Amino acid sequence: MIHVVGAGLAGLVAAHALARAGRPVTLHEATPGAGGRARALPDGTDNGTHALVGANRAALAFLSAIGAREHWIEPEPEGLPVLDLADGSARRVALSPLGWWRADRRPEGASPAALAALLGMALPGRDRTIAEAMAAHPAFLRGFVDPLTIAALNTPSAEASTRRLGQVLRRLGGPGAARLYVARRGLGPDLVAPALAALQAMGVRYLPESRLRRVTQSGGQARVLHFHEEEIALGAEDRVILALPPWEAVRLLTHVDAPDRFAPIVNLHFARGGPGPVRFIGMLGALCQWVLVRPEGVSVTVSAGDAEAGEDAESLAPRAWGEILRAAMAFRLPGEWPIAPPACRVVKERRATPRHTPGPIPSPARQPLANLALAGDWTWPALPATLEAATRSGLAAARAVQA
């Protein structure tokens, strides 16, 4: 038996890979629902404006494997709509430099020198903050590099690592690599539910509300898994994958090279129904960095939201809704957009991702014990903590316990 502990994306991917290989799997999840930090809320709403790009090949392949790829759509194929609150300008911006040959799709400040500075971060070199690397190109930093940094690294440019952003940039150069995809209905129905259905069809045993309290170790191996409801003694052929956040892995194993500084994400979900297609809008100089509009509601993400994580929902919601109204008018979104903010749910993830700052990148051993492997976005040092990193880590952990 292989016990996968943690039903976030990394755990779902690991369990799926093992089940496809014909291995018996039990998937344990501490909470009532699967999804982890990329979870959906109980009504199926995304906990944030989660998106994938064409370069996320492992994550997109997993969606295909569980029969969910068709539900991930490209909301803005003509370029990302961007509203700048500083001057009220509204434009579309191509996410790939290959599209910047059109002046009306080019971000502000995208001069040859600014582009060279951006590409320079994709090359090996001195690790420093992105703000330092782009100091000579403030308009391009504000209009393109900083939003990209916030989205990919969840760390402000003033403290974010050029090495870490370079890991992203190197994957965005190919054809279609920068195409943007979102779940049409939300992560619940378009990722979590299909993954659990696929696992159930392959005979995986899924145990929600099964929290791992302790791991007994001896001789370099895990011997007993202590859950709230039971203790599982591991036999010679049994294996374990811990697909957990770094603080949980450290709690259980103690000697793990894990990040210890984290950045928050604040998400606001407005209960607005209305007609029209799914839309994805970026904003500059605003509380709302990304606005995802679906017929079922409007979701806003505030990444690297240190200040906003301490702000009351009563003040966040009106601020955000006022900005959303400006975006709705600027891009002529269909339907009614009332002045008063509708019901809003605010979700604050205070340890959403590690802070991706300059310096050594934590590189935990994939197998800290002979019969136990680690998974999770933070265990894949070749990428910052993203859905793609989580997917690749789950595949790597599955390979490790089968070796």
172-182: per-residue pLDDT in tens? Answer: 878 899 999 99
**For the chain, how many structural domains are there in total?**
3
Segment 108-156, tens digit of pLDDT: 999 999 999 999 999 888 999 999 999 999 999 999 999 999 999 999 9
Q: Is residue 241 domain-shared with residue 373, that is, in the same domain? A: yes
Contact assessment for residue 80 and residue 280, using Cβ atoms and an 8 Å cutoff: yes
Q: For the domain that residue 382 is a member of, what is the CATH number?
A: 3.50.50.60
In DSSP terms, 279 is beta-bridged to 293
pTM for this entry: 0.94
Q: In which domain, by residue range, is 308 found?
A: 48-95+179-185+262-354
Q: How many CB atoms lie within 10 A of CB 56?
A: 22
Q: Which range (13-17, 71-75, 99-103, 208-212) has the least confidence?
A: 99-103
Helix (H, G, I), strand (E, B) or coil at 57: helix
- Do both 268 and 256 map to the same domain? no
Q: Residue 124: its pLDDT value, please? A: 85
Token duo for residue 311: 């702000």
Residue 27: pLDDT above 80? yes
Please tell me whether residues 267 and 338 are part of one structural domain.
yes
Q: Which of 175, 209, 236 is the last residue of a domain?
A: 175
Whether residue 135 is found in the same domain as residue 16? no
60/126 same-domain check: no
Sheet containing strand 212-218, edge to edge, reads 212-218, 221-227, 231-233
Task: Please check the confidence at residue 45 and state whether its pLDDT lies above 70.
Answer: no
Burial classification of residue 135, based on how many CB atoms lie within 10 Å of its CB (0-12 exposed, 13-18 middle, 19 or more buried): exposed
88 with 104, same domain: the answer is: no
Give yes or no: residues 282 and 305 share one domain.
yes
Is the pLDDT reported for residue 386 higher than 90? Answer: yes
